[in-house]
């Protein structure tokens, strides 16, 4: 492992050296050796070294390894018996999906989470931003209140909502249901609804942050545009669709992409709110269980690779489509 | 005159509707937080008694003798202050290291010319775009193989570098006039001195933003520390940071709801203070994030 890492970093340094030589020898005007001062070059390298070394070990190597491990049967406790198994991990994944195993559930649950949380969270954020943006007395206070859930961490959020949604009569919500004469429901352990509660809790915790971003976008829209629209007799909806939406386009792109990527990674909430359950397991959580709990780094990396490809492709597509519209 | 007052009435009605919804949404947003704080001041008996009525959202002000009992037991019995101290130590190390390392790199990328620069800036751009969110398992295996797992270094080292922060610093330093550097060079100052005495003070706003986000990131991190650090053993100083300790406290036998809530509140206080006092830098950071795309 250490040897492989050194080799990978060596190859990487070699590529860097090739570019250094290229810069030294060639320039647009042809051969030119004396373009760089030696002192400045040495200084640059020394000052870049800490960041560069850390990037190599903690950013670049993990990316390259996650590519490589996906095609091996690497088991963390017996690293020396690692074999190259080509597509076996992916075949296992396909079989698992066909048998409706963990992988199948993880894909369904993650898709469900992303499909619901992205519009919900951004919709809530936009609604709150528009509300808070009204020029009324006291709106600053409401802005702070809507932002409040962002301040608590995902861990605190999860443990807090476990107590609110808890089963039996000791959960906050259930205690009121029982008072009203209904039977207590174990919200987080009902296969039909658990994921939706996680979606709701996540949107509640996160939307204040996007509210702030959208609010800064709203503040950037020229007020004369609204006045002009008003003179043309535009109503609220026309103003929203012809002034607000176009003005928010670039901010919205950013918000959609970041919320989307964040949603694809969801793990802490199901982990702490329900534990490993077929109805709440997500891709990132499954990857963690396979790679960390069971130590099957190879299989786990295959899942990670699929996730990376999907996240990368959809991010690229979103960016491409939104650029197209401009 | 009549039309004017009718318009006024309409305006007041519209404002009332806005306020009504604002308050309604505010209640929906903060009732869990209010409940968390209120419950943290109640004994288990009081909590069970209040459950199911609106009293559950109100503190019990009749008997103040037990008001801070849960905080007392969380601090002394469950040693949450040790975990909090750990979190502060990890966050401080990461904040200082992260700012220095990334500012240095961003400064070089903005102001120096050297062979291979094109390649490095390509690398930075590439790493900004590639989704690195799913590399936690390979990262764990690297840290494990380096012999770092189980040590404090495993929590501190990976977050020291951030490609995005390098990019932020680079953007910032590009806008600073080169005359500062040239003047200092004429005075015979070393590059490191120019960086630490001139550049860092000039870049205080961005330093504050990066530091704030680094602190929040380390303080709120849960999964990575639980992967690389041993769970707390009785009789030893624990290595877990506070978020990870919440799991430990949850699973202690006989822990009361009030005590759990008290630990959640204590965990949230530093981040709350940061949002109150460093709000400006957070808003700037959010803006900088928006520039990224």
What 8-state DSSP symbol labels residue A271?
A: H
Task: Say whether residue B54 is in contact with chain A using an 8 A CB cutoff.
Answer: no
In degrees, rounded to 5, the angle at the alpha carbon of residue B289 between the alpha carbons of residues B284 and B292 is 130
Q: What are phi and psi of A31, to 5 degrees?
A: -65, 130
Q: Is there a single domain that holds both residue A50 and residue A98?
A: no
Supply the DSSP string of chain B, one letter for each residue: -HHHHHHHHHHHHHHHHHHHHHHHHHHHHHHHHHHHHHHTTS-HHHHHHHTTSGGGGS---S-GGGTTHHHHHHHHTS-HHHHHHHHHHHHHHHHHHHHHHHHHHHHHHHH---TTHHHHHHHHHHHHHS--TT-HHHHHHHHHHTT-TTSTHHHHSGGG--HHHHHHHHHHHHTS-THHHHHHHHTT--HHHIIIIIIHHHTHHHHHHHHHHHHHHHHH--HHHHHHSPPP-TTS-----HHHHHHHHHTSTT--HHHHHHHHHHHHHHHHHHHHHSHHHHHHHHHHHHHT-
* Measured distance CA(A10)–CA(A5) in Å, rounded: 8
* Measured distance CA(A75)–CA(A294) in Å, rounded: 9
Write down the pLDDT at residue B113: 86
pTM of the predicted protein model: 0.90
* Measured distance CA(B203)–CA(B193) in Å, rounded: 15
Q: Is there a single domain that holds both residue B48 and residue B100?
A: no
Is residue A79 a part of any domain in this protein?
Answer: no
Task: Say whether residue B45 is in contact with chain A using an 8 A CB cutoff.
Answer: no
Write down the pLDDT at residue B285: 73
Task: Say whether residue B108 is in contact with chain A using an 8 A CB cutoff.
Answer: yes
Dihedral sign from CA coordinates of B228, A310, A320, A122 = negative
Domain hosting A54: range is 2-69
Q: Is there a single domain that holds both residue B214 and residue B157?
A: yes
Is residue A76 a part of any domain in this protein?
Answer: no
Q: Which residue of A has its CA nearest to B124?
A: A55
Chain A environment of B105 (Cβ under 8 Å): 47-48, 50-52
Q: Is there a single domain that holds both residue B56 and residue B124?
A: no
Into how many domains does chain A fold? 2
Write down the pLDDT at residue B123: 92
Write down the pLDDT at residue A84: 87
Q: Is there a single domain that holds both residue A50 and residue A178?
A: no
Q: Is there a single domain that holds both residue B280 and residue B263?
A: yes
Is residue A113 a part of any domain in this protein?
Answer: yes
Structure tokens at B138: 């390979």
Q: Is there a single domain that holds both residue A36 and residue A137?
A: no
CATH of the domain at B205: 1.10.3720.10
* Measured distance CA(A49)–CA(A31) in Å, rounded: 28
Between chains, do B22 and A139 touch, taking CB under 8 Å as contact?
yes
Distance from the Cα of residue A89 to its chain's centroid:
24
Closest approach of A198 to chain B, Cα-based (Å): 15
**Final residue of a domain: which of B17, B48, B74?**
B74
Q: What is the pLDDT along chain A (326 residues), one digit of tens a residue?
A: 778 888 888 999 999 999 888 888 776 555 555 567 888 888 899 999 999 999 999 999 998 888 888 998 888 888 788 888 889 999 999 999 999 989 999 999 999 999 999 999 999 999 999 999 988 888 889 999 999 999 999 999 999 999 999 877 788 998 888 888 888 888 898 898 999 999 999 999 999 999 988 988 888 888 888 888 888 888 888 888 888 888 888 788 888 888 998 899 999 999 999 989 999 999 999 999 999 999 898 999 999 999 988 888 887 787 777 666 55
Between chains, do A152 and B271 touch, taking CB under 8 Å as contact?
yes
Q: Is there a single domain that holds both residue B104 and residue B154?
A: yes
- C-alpha torsion angle, residues B255, B256, B260, B266 (rounded to 10): -100
Between chains, do A154 and B222 touch, taking CB under 8 Å as contact?
yes
Domain hosting B201: range is 81-291
ipTM of the prediction: 0.90
Rg (CA), chain B: 25
**Final residue of a domain: which of A69, A101, A123?**
A69
Task: Say whether residue B10 is in contact with chain A using an 8 A CB cutoff.
Answer: no
Is residue A80 a part of any domain in this protein?
Answer: no
Query: What are the CA-CA distances from residue A61 to residues A54, A57, B135, B152 (Å)?
Result: 10, 5, 9, 21
Q: Is there a single domain that holds both residue A23 and residue A164?
A: no
Distance from the Cα of residue B142 to its chain's centroid:
25
Into how many domains does chain B fold? 2
Q: Is there a single domain that holds both residue A35 and residue A156?
A: no
* Measured distance CA(B101)–CA(B214) in Å, rounded: 13
At which residue do the structure tokens 């999907």 appear?
A310
DSSP helix/strand/coil, A237? helix
Mean pLDDT by 10 residues, chain B (293 residues): 75 88 93 94 89 86 85 91 96 96 94 89 87 84 89 94 91 85 83 85 88 93 93 89 92 89 95 87 69 42
Q: Is there a single domain that holds both residue A143 and residue A45?
A: no
Residue to substitute from A156, A264, A268, interface B, most B β-carbons within 10 A: A156
Task: Say whether residue A237 is in contact with chain B using an 8 A CB cutoff.
Answer: no
Within 217-246 of B, beta carbons closer than 8 Å to A belong to 219-220, 222-223, 227, 243, 246
Query: What are the CA-CA distances from residue A173 to residues A106, A180, A182, A185 (Å)?
Result: 28, 11, 11, 9
Q: Is there a single domain that holds both residue A53 and residue A168?
A: no
DSSP helix/strand/coil, A73? coil
Write down the pLDDT at residue A33: 56
Q: Is there a single domain that holds both residue A129 and residue A166?
A: yes
């Amino acid at each position: 492992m250490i040897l492989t890492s050194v080799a990978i970093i060596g190859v990487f340094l070699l590529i860097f050296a090739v570019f250094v030589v290229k810069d030294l020898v060639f320039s647009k005007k042809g051969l030119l050796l004396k373009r760089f001062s030696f002192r400045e070059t040495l200084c640059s390298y020394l000052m870049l070294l800490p960041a560069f070394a850390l990037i190599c070990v903690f950013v670049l190597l993990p990316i390259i390894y996650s590519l490589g491990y996906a095609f091996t049967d690497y088991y963390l406790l017996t690293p020396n018996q690692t074999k190259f198994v080509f597509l076996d991990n992916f075949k296992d994944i396909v079989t698992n999906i066909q048998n409706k195993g963990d992988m199948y559930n993880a894909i369904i649950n993650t898709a469900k989470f992303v499909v619901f949380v992205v519009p919900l969270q951004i919709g809530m954020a936009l609604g709150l931003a528009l509300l808070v943006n009204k020029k009324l007395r006291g709106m600053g206070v409401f802005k702070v209140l809507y932002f409040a859930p962002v301040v608590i961490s995902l861990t605190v959020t999860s443990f807090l909502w476990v107590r609110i949604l808890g089963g039996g009569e000791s959960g906050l919500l259930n205690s009121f249901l029982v008072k009203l004469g209904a039977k207590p429901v174990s919200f987080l352990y009902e296969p039909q609804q658990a994921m939706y509660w996680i979606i709701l809790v996540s949107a509640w915790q996160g939307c204040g942050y996007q509210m702030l971003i959208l609010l800064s976008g709203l503040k950037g829209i020229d007020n004369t545009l609204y006045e002009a629209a008003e003179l043309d007799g535009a109503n609220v909806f026309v103003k929203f669709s012809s002034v607000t939406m176009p003005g928010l386009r670039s901010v919205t792109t950013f918000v959609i992409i970041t919320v989307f990527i964040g949603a694809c990674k969801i793990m802490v909430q199901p982990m702490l709110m329900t534990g490993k359950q077929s109805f709440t397991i997500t891709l990132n959580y499954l990857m963690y269980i396979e790679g960390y709990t069971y130590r099957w780094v190879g299989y786990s990396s295959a899942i990670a690779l699929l996730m990376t490809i999907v996240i990368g492709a959809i991010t690229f597509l979103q960016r491409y489509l939104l650029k197209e519209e401009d | 005159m009549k039309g004017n007052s009718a318009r006024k009435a309409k305006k007041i009605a519209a404002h009332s509707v806005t306020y009504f919804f604002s308050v309604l949404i505010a209640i929906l947003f903060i009732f869990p937080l209010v409940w968390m704080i209120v419950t943290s001041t109640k004994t288990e008996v009081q909590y069970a008694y209040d459950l199911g009525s609106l009293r559950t959202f109100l503190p019990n002000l009749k008997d103040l003798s037990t008001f801070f009992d849960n905080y007392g037991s969380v601090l002394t019995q469950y040693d949450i202050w040790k975990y909090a101290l750990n979190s502060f130590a990890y966050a401080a190390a990461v904040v200082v290291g992260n700012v220095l390392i990334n500012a240095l790199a961003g400064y070089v990328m903005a102001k120096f010319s050297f062979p291979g620069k094109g390649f490095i800036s390509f690398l930075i751009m590439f790493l900004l775009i590639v989704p690195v969110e799913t590399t936690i398992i390979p990262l764990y295996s690297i840290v494990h193989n380096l012999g770092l797992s189980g040590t404090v270094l495993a929590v501190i080292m990976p977050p020291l570098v951030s490609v995005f922060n390098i990019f932020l610093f680079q953007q910032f330093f590009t806008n600073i006039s080169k005359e500062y550097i040239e003047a200092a060079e004429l005075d015979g100052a070393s590059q490191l001195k120019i960086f630490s005495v001139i550049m860092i003070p000039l870049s205080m706003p961005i330093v504050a933003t990066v530091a704030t986000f680094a602190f929040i990131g380390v303080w709120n991190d849960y999964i990575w520390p639980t992967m690389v650090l041993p769970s707390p053993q009785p009789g030893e100083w624990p290595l877990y940071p506070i978020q990870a300790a919440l799991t430990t406290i949850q699973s202690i036998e006989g822990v009361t709801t009030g005590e759990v809530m008290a630990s959640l509140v204590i965990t949230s206080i530093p981040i709350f203070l940061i949002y109150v006092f460093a709000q400006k830098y957070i808003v700037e950071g959010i803006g900088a994030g928006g520039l990224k795309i």
